[in-house]
């Protein structure tokens, strides 16, 4: 594998290793009203239960005190269960890619992590899931070590994958160009609208040569100022949109794309 190919594979591999929200870490308290509170039970008395709750990303916390008389049922994780759930969440950072295989060393890294989980938490509620996922990682390692590559969740020889990758790349470029055509059209419309407003403001039908009272004068001057700003920004935005379109279109044509997006761009 070339250095570029290796780096691309490693990026694909490491992207899914970014921290994810932990799974099944919250205790649950169901109230008589039907409301379900997810959090962590931090203390209990005969009359009250204190639950630490947070926002979706677990960055801001508060403690909610709940009367036991309002509680219908409560489910708490034991420390061992919580640790096992946390370990399972870590494993879910590893995800197989339907269009890209990894290196044998990368498979070994994941398989080692899965084996460690099975050995440490044999009674985990996620044990069957981990075993199934482990089988998939081992199967992929076997395929890679036998010289096959992956695309569309199918295994094939490298020379079979190349045209499929190229076609996918063209399709992705087509989608990007279709979107960029709309961006350019919107940018053109913005330039036209700004120029039309300018022409009106400075015309006899607008405010040219008119004597205005101070409040109206101030309002019109604000319109002039805003329009001057738009006249400066709109063409710059159009130039940027066109530059992006040209970049995508050149890449698309080099890749053998057949759709005339320039024609679409110029269409009324």
Which phi-psi region, left, alpha or beta, contains residue 24 (left: φ > 0; alpha: ψ -120 to 50)? left
CB 51, CB 29: distance < 8 Å: yes
DSSP 73: E
pLDDT for res 25: 67
Tell me which residue of 102, 111, 182, 184 sits closest to 149, measured CA to CA: 102
How many angstroms separate the Cα of 197 from the Cα of each of 87, 98, 206, 217?
61, 51, 9, 17
Residue 137 CB contacts under 8 Å (≥ 6 apart), including other chains = 94, 96, 107, 110, 111, 114
Residue 159 CB contacts under 8 Å (≥ 6 apart), including other chains = none
Interior angle at CA 54, CA 48 and CA 57, nearest 5: 160
Q: Give backbone dihedrals phi and psi of 102, rounded to 5 degrees, phi first.
A: -110, 180
Strand 36-44: give its sheet, edge to edge.
61-67, 48-54, 36-44, 27-31, 71-75
Over the range 62-101, which residues count as b (16 or more CB within 10 Å of their CB) and which as e?
Answer: eeeebeeeeeeebeebeeebbebbebbbbbbebebbeebb
Question: Which residues are bridge partners to 29 per DSSP?
Answer: 37, 74
Residue 216 CB contacts under 8 Å (≥ 6 apart), including other chains = none
Over the range 131-140, which residues count as b (16 or more CB within 10 Å of their CB) and which as e?
Answer: eebbeebeeb
pLDDT for res 14: 43
Q: Give backbone dihedrals phi and psi of 71, rounded to 5 degrees, phi first.
A: -95, 130
pLDDT for res 238: 97
Question: Which residues are bridge partners to 64 per DSSP?
Answer: 51
How many angstroms separate the Cα of 142 from the Cα of each of 85, 137, 148?
29, 9, 9
- Alpha-carbon span 99 to 154, nearest angstrom: 8
| pTM greater than the 0.85 cutoff | no
pLDDT for res 22: 41
Tell me which residue of 34, 66, 64, 37 sits closest to 49, measured CA to CA: 66
The pLDDT tens digits along the chain (268 residues) read 443 443 344 444 443 433 334 445 688 999 999 999 999 899 999 999 999 999 887 789 999 999 999 999 998 888 888 889 889 989 989 999 999 999 999 999 999 999 999 999 999 989 999 999 999 999 999 999 999 999 999 999 999 999 999 999 999 999 999 999 999 999 999 999 999 999 999 999 999 999 999 999 999 999 999 999 999 999 999 999 999 999 999 999 999 999 999 999 888 7
Query: How would you class 196 by CB atoms within 10 Å of its CB: exposed for 0-12, middle for 13-18, buried for 19 or more?
Result: exposed
pLDDT for res 62: 95
């Amino acid at each position: 594998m070339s250095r570029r190919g290796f780096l691309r594979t490693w990026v694909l591999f490491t992207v899914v290793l970014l921290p994810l929200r932990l799974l099944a870490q919250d205790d649950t308290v169901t109230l008589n009203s039907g409301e379900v509170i997810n959090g962590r039970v931090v203390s209990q008395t005969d009359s009250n239960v204190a639950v630490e709750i947070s926002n979706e990303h677990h960055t801001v916390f508060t403690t909610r005190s709940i009367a036991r008389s309002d509680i219908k049922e409560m489910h708490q994780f034991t420390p061992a269960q919580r640790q096992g759930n946390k370990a399972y969440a870590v494993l879910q950072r590893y995800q197989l890619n339907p269009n890209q295989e990894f290196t044998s060393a990368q498979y070994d890294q994941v398989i080692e992590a899965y084996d460690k989980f099975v050995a440490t938490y044999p009674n985990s509620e996620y044990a069957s899931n981990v075993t199934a996922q482990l089988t998939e990682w081992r199967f992929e390692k076997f395929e890679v070590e036998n010289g096959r590559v992956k695309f569309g969740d199918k295994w094939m020889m490298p020379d079979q994958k190349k045209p499929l990758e190229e076609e996918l790349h063209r399709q992705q470029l087509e989608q990007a160009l279709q979107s960029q055509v709309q961006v350019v059209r919107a940018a053109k419309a913005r330039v036209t609208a700004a120029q039309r407003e300018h022409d009106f403001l400075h015309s006899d039908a607008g405010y040219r040569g008119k004597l205005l009272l101070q409040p109206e004068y101030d309002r019109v001057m604000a319109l002039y100022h805003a329009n001057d700003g738009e006249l400066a920004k709109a063409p710059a935005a159009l130039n940027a949109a066109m530059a992006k379109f040209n970049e995508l279109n050149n890449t698309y044509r080099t890749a053998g794309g057949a759709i005339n997006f320039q024609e679409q761009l110029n269409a009324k």
